[in-house]
Amino acid sequence: MARDFFPFVEDGEVGDAGGTPDGLVVQHPARIAVYDDPSAAPRVVVVEPKDVRAYLEEITATVNRLSHEQGGTIPFMVIREIVENFIHAYFQAPTITILDGGNTIRFSDQGPGIKEKSLALEFGTTSATEDMRRYIRGVGSGLPYAQQYMEDKGGSLEIEDNISGGTVVTISTRPAHDARGLSNAGGEKDEPVGAQQGWPVAAAPAPPYPGAATAQPAWPQPWQQGGPWPQQPAGYPGYQTAYQQQGWQQPGWQQAPQPAPPQPAWAAAADVSLDDRGRQALSLVLERGAAGPTDLVQAYGSSAATWSRALASLASQGAVMKVGQKYQPTEFGRMLGA
C-alpha cells in the first residue's frame, strides 16, 4: 500500500481483503461516470471492492486521472479529501460524476447522510469513529479544507441530500450558482434539451406588439385589420378565453396593459433578514470597501469557511458582489447597511 497516500494516519491492523476485524467492510463497487460527449451517454469506470485503503486510493487516483484527461484542474489533494468521506457513508453505493470538461465533479452515496451540513464545513467537527481513524485523519479537516481551497480559486463546494438518502458533494472551478444544473461535458446549463444535444431549436414567434409576452396566433388580428374582434374560429376552442386570461380587452383593444412599477430599493431592503454573521460581514465590507474571508477571520475570529458562506449568502441577496478574491458592496448593500 502506498504509505504517502495516507501521510497523517498511523498504520493499523488490517484484516482480509475487503474488510477489517472491526467490521468496516467495502461491499459496493464505486462507479465513475465520465461525460466525454454531450450527445452521448457517459462511459462508466468501475472500481471493485477491496481493502479499505486500496479502495480509497484507487478511486482517488482514477477520478484524478479521468478528470485531468478531460482538461480539469481540480487537484489530487482536494479530490482525495472528498473521496475519503465515503467512509462516513460506509461505502454505500459511491458514485462519482465528472462533468464540465473535468472541472465539476459530483460525489454521491446512499449512506446515512449529513444532517448538519453547515457544521460539516467547520474545521474540527467530525463524525469519524475510532475504526474510521485507521484510514482517515478523522479530525474534521477534509470538507472545510476542500471548500476553502475551491473558493480561494474562484470555485465552490456544495453539500446536498441525495434523492433517496445519502449525500451529494459537488466541487467545481465555477461559482456555486454556475455549477448547478451542469449536465454534460461541455458545461452548458439552463438550455433547452435540444440545444444541449446539438439539435436545432426553433426561435420563439414574434409577439403581436412590442413588449408582449405571448406569441402571435396564426389567424389575423383586429389591430392588424382595423376590423371588429373576430368570432371564435372553428377548431380553436377557448380562443377568446386565452386572450382574456392575458388581461386583453375585447373588442376595441388598443394597447397592452402597463407593467407594474418596479419595487423601490427600500422595499426590497425591508424584505432582507440578515443574521449576526451577515451583518458583521456586510459591516466590514462597507467599512473597508472590499473584504474576503481572511479579513473577516482576522476581524471577528471563527473560520474562513464560515465567512465564505456568510459572504456567499450576502451575494445571493444582492448586497455584495465578488470581484477577484474579495467582495465589494453594491448600492443595495450600502442601503441595507445604512
* C-alpha distances in Å from residue 264, one per residue of 141, 257, 267: 44, 21, 5
Please name the residues in contact with 317: beta carbons below 8 A apart, sequence gap of 6 or more. Answer: 272
Q: Does the residue 126 lie in any domain?
A: yes
In this predicted structure, what is the pLDDT of residue 30? 94
Q: Is this model's pTM higher than 0.85 or not? A: no
Both 146 and 285 in one domain: the answer is no
End-to-end CA distance of the chain: 59
pLDDT of amino acid 74: 94
pLDDT tens column, 166-202: 999 999 998 876 666 665 445 555 444 344 444 444 4
173 plus 309 within the same structural domain: no
319, part of any domain: yes
Segments in the chain below pLDDT 50 = 1-8, 10-21, 184-185, 190-219, 222-225, 227, 229-230, 232-233, 235-244, 249-250, 252-253, 265-266
Do both 161 and 282 map to the same domain?
no
Residue where one domain finishes, among candidates 150, 179, 208:
179
Condensed to tens digits (0 to 9), the pLDDT of residues 252-311 reads 445 556 666 665 544 555 566 788 888 899 999 999 999 988 888 888 888 877 888 888
pLDDT value at residue 270: 53
The H or E element containing residue 335 is helix 331-337
Paired sense of beta strands 156-161 and 320-323, if any: unpaired
- Same-domain check for residues 37 and 168: yes
Whole-angstrom Cα distance, residue 72 to residue 67?
5
Dihedral angle over CA of 5, 7, 9, 11, nearest 10: 80
The predicted structure's pLDDT at residue 243: 46
CA-angle at 65, arms to 31 and 92, nearest 5°: 25
Structural domain containing residue 331 = 272-337
Alpha helices, DSSP H, located in 33-172: 52-69, 76-84, 117-120, 142-152
Q: How many domains does the chain have?
A: 2
Domain closes at, from 144, 179, 214: 179
**For residue 112, what is its C-alpha cell?**
446515512
Domain boundary (159, 179, 199) is at 179
Please state the length of the chain.
338
DSSP 115: S
Asked if the structure places residue 199 within a domain, the reply is no
